[in-house]
Structure 1
Amino acid sequence: MNEKALTVFDQYNLKINSTYRIKGNYGCNVEKEKYILQEYNNSNEKMAAMKILYNYMEDKGFICDCVIENNEGNYVTISEDGYTYILKKWFNAEECNVNNEGSILAGTKKLAAFHNILRDNRELLKDVRAFHPGKNMEKVFERHNREITTIKNYIKKRKNKNFFEMSLQDIMDEYKKQAVIATDNLLKSTYASRFEEAVLMKTINHGCYNHHNILFDGEGIIMVNMSKINYAPQLQDLYDWLRKVMEKNNWNISLGNKIIEEYNKINPLNSEEYTILKIMLSYPEKFWKIINYYYNSNKAWYSEKNEEKLTQFLKQENLRHKFIENM
């Protein structure tokens, strides 16, 4: 972000005391409040829809990085050099500590509460056209499976394989099998009908609920960076949150059970949802990420980071399967 972005502040009715850099953006202080200016590459219509959602969440007691209108009543503002920005509320707060059990469980409760208030939004969002269906996990898994096959064939043809590639070759069939089984099980489950129902009911899925996007200010949790909001089964948020937290905590079974328990206290899962959650967790997502990153990176130099990630992944595998079996 260049300094010409600062001229965007002139298009808002704010008495700015000072500006500062924050995470590649510009922030400003206005009396007791803070705002952050972010580059934005979507429509004003999308942000107007977000404003409806922000207002509804705030009415329900949530704190979020609500977008601010400019002097013309728009949410998207154009700078002198043609870049587009939005201005949002900001806070003196810290990201969720993904290694702190209390913070993780508090984040889980917030996710469940968020899901509770946004399950059926046909009335709230009846005139909104800017939100769209999110990821269909059946299609995601099927695409990943094709990519695993492509990478498997690529490695097989490599003549001078390095240690990482030889390691992959030894386990590729096993993880392709796991991927296919998980995909088949998802196709046999009630997931497809749940996805259709979520789109029909305009069920809100956060789309990017992780420790970077929930902040703690000492009094509560603030939800930020919700630009990936979509219509999809809310179980997908729980899957993303649970998987990422468990990967960061060596698939700690006790912690995983507590996460599900805390979510259930506010938004109980039924037996079919448990089944779908277990199926999604059984898909070797981390394995796909590692090999996909390798395949799309520069092969001219050897990355020890890839080797480290694969080693760490394999160390956690028994615990991952044990957690899933005991859910």
Structure 2
Amino acid sequence: MQEYELKVLEQYNIKVISTRKTRGAVLCDTDQGLLLLKDVTGQEKRIPVVWELHDYLRQQGVENTDEIILNQEGDSVSALEGEGRYILKRWFPGRECDLHRPAELLEATASLAKLHLLMQHQLELPAGTGTDLKEEYARHNRELRKVRKYMRKLSPKGEFEIAFLKCFDQMYQWASASLQELEQSGYDTLYKESVEGHCLVHGEYNYHNILMLPTARPARVEMPEIAVTNFEKFKYDVQVEDLYYFLRKVMEKTGWKTRLGDNMINAYSAVRPISDVEMEYLRNRLSYPEKIWKIANSYYHSNKAWVSVKNIEKLSTAIRQTEEKRRFLEEIFSFHL
């Protein structure tokens, strides 16, 4: 550990036993359990409201979140002159939720629903709100057209450009239909009611931020406990946005398996019932070609003279999964383009 990191830890009422580097942070074994020291330079203004959310959840009986530890001065952020800003938060000796274990995915989905039932609360500090989805779709569609225009003029065209232009018309049809459907849906009312009702979302609920904790109980008796981490992107928004995000990430990695997706939706709705307008929202979010837009946007803002093999593979996978996604939407949502 660097000397400046030790100086940061000296600002807390803890006894450090050992430390080790992890992805972008330092894991600390202490007399108060496992803690994580993280550099938040440039993001420190948002930390107090994240602490407030954790404090509220703890008061509601939620124990397994990476709550921020206050330093000796009672502050959520610790400063070290010339060396940045840091937070120390509770951490867990667990592993990431396994995409290939359906039972864990269903448990994680149910845990999200339980969180959402509690995360309907007005915080004292400003938490921010989600963007208007209609504006976001319209902007993304303009960006897709801009990428196509650029590629059409490009000569010679590479493998990536040829593949993108070949699939563009179909993908843009999905994108255009999603925006049109959203404009005719009950989205505006749902969004307004969600924000006015102080409905909070995690903002990045994916398998990386869901930890399965070790348990002394036999696995066949009960699932491991779950810890949810990294709430830094939370905000007021339509709560099933979290479900959409988690579901899309899982489906993209597992091939849009209808049975798994249906079971995940049912696991959520068994805890927090999903309204008709929320199901409409889920269908619309899943039908938008988000992955294609992300790949295209990344391409446009990078070195176009050299497209990595990884990006070509990502595009090929997204195109290949289009038919799987179409079947998924038809079987679960009766979606027809």
Q: Which amino acid aligns with 2:34?
A: K
Residue in 2 aligned with 1:169?
A: 165
Structure 2 equivalent of residue 228 of structure 1: 233
- With over 3 angstroms needed to count, the CA separation of the structure-2 counterparts of 1:49 and 1:307, relative to structure 1, is closer
Match of 2:248 in 1: 243
| Contact 2:95-2:213 within 8 A present in 1 as well | yes
Letter in 2 for 1:149: R
1:210 and 2:212 aligned: no
From the superposition, tell whether residues 139 and 2 of structure 1 become closer, same or farther in structure 2 (CA, over 3 Å).
Answer: farther
CA distance in 2, matches of 1:23, 1:42: 17
Q: Deviations 1:40-91 (Å, cap 9, x if unpaired)?
A: 13345x4333233213322333210111111111111112424001110111
Hey, what does 1:75 align to over in structure 2?
Answer: 76
What's the TM-score, normalizing by structure 1?
A: 0.93
* Among candidates 258, 266, 269, match of residue 264 of structure 1: 269
Instruction: Determine if contact 1:7/1:80 at 8 Å carries over to the other structure.
Output: no
Deviations 1:107-130 (A, max 9, x none): 1011111111113x13xx2xx233
Asked if structure 2 preserves the Cα contact closer than 8 Å seen for 1:4 and 1:81, the reply is no
Structure 1 residues 302 and 134, CA gap change in structure 2 (3 angstroms): closer
The answer (yes or no) to whether the contact 2:4–2:83 under 8 Å persists in 1 is: no
Q: Which amino acid aligns with 1:160?
A: P
Q: Aligned residue for 1:64? A: 65
Residue number in structure 2 paired with 1:293:
298
TM-score w.r.t. length of structure 2: 0.91
- Residue 226 of structure 1, CA deviation: 0.4
Change (3 A) 1:197 1:8: same
The AA in structure 2 aligned to 1:245 is: V
Q: Which runs of 5+ in 2 are unaligned?
A: 215-223, 333-337
Aligned CA-pair RMSD: 1.6
Instruction: Give runs of aligned pairs for residues 1-327 of structure 1, distance below 5 A.
Output: 3-31=3-31, 33-40=33-40, 41-43=42-44, 46-62=46-62, 63-119=64-120, 121-122=121-122, 125=123, 128-218=124-214, 219-327=224-332
Distance of aligned partners of 1:18 and 1:80 in 2 relative to their CA distance in 1, 3 Å threshold: farther
C-alpha distance in 2 between matches for 1:129 and 1:35: 25
Letter in 1 for 2:99: V
Maintained 8 Å contact 2:14/2:32:
no
- Amino acid of the structure 2 residue aligned with 1:186: L
AA aligned to 2:238 is P
Is the 8 Å Cα contact of residues 93 and 213 (structure 2) preserved in structure 1? yes
SS of the residue aligned with 1:64?
Answer: coil
Q: Is the 1:4–1:80 Cα contact (8 Å) retained in structure 2?
A: no
% identity of equivalent residues: 35
Q: Is the 8 A contact 2:44 2:85 kept in 1?
A: no
Which amino acid in the other structure matches residue 236 of structure 1?
E
Cα distance in 2 between the residues matched to 1:172 and 1:37: 44
